[in-house]
């Protein structure tokens, strides 16, 4: 991943609210959950912290994320 691609991903996702594409088998456990992108890693994965009682962070590929509209 080039530095320009990294900057683009950071601008597009960092600090934004997202949901996941729950049709992906590995992401079904996050169905119906919203989260916030904390950072974009050097490998191009978004570090997402989901709302709920267990605020863990997960690396998820940006192509499986959907941005939520701003309130």
16-60 pLDDT, tens digit per residue, is: 999 999 899 999 999 989 999 999 998 999 999 998 777 789 999
Does residue 3 have a pLDDT over 90?
Answer: no
- Give residue 13's pLDDT: 95
Q: Which domain does 49 fall in, by range?
A: 3-67
Reduced 3-state DSSP string for 17-33: EEEECCCCHHHHHHCCC
CATH number at 22 reads 2.30.30.30
- Give residue 58's pLDDT: 94
- Give residue 71's pLDDT: 66
Give how many domains the chain has, as a whole number: 1
Neighbours of 21 (CB within 10 A): 15
- Give residue 36's pLDDT: 95
């Amino acid at each position: 991943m080039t530095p320009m691609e990294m900057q683009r991903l950071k601008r597009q996702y960092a600090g934004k609210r997202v949901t996941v594409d729950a049709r992906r088998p590995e992401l079904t456990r996050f169905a119906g959950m919203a989260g916030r992108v904390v950072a974009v890693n050097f490998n191009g994965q978004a570090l997402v912290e989901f709302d709920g009682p267990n605020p863990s962070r997960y690396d998820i590929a940006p192509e499986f994320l959907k941005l939520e509209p701003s309130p």
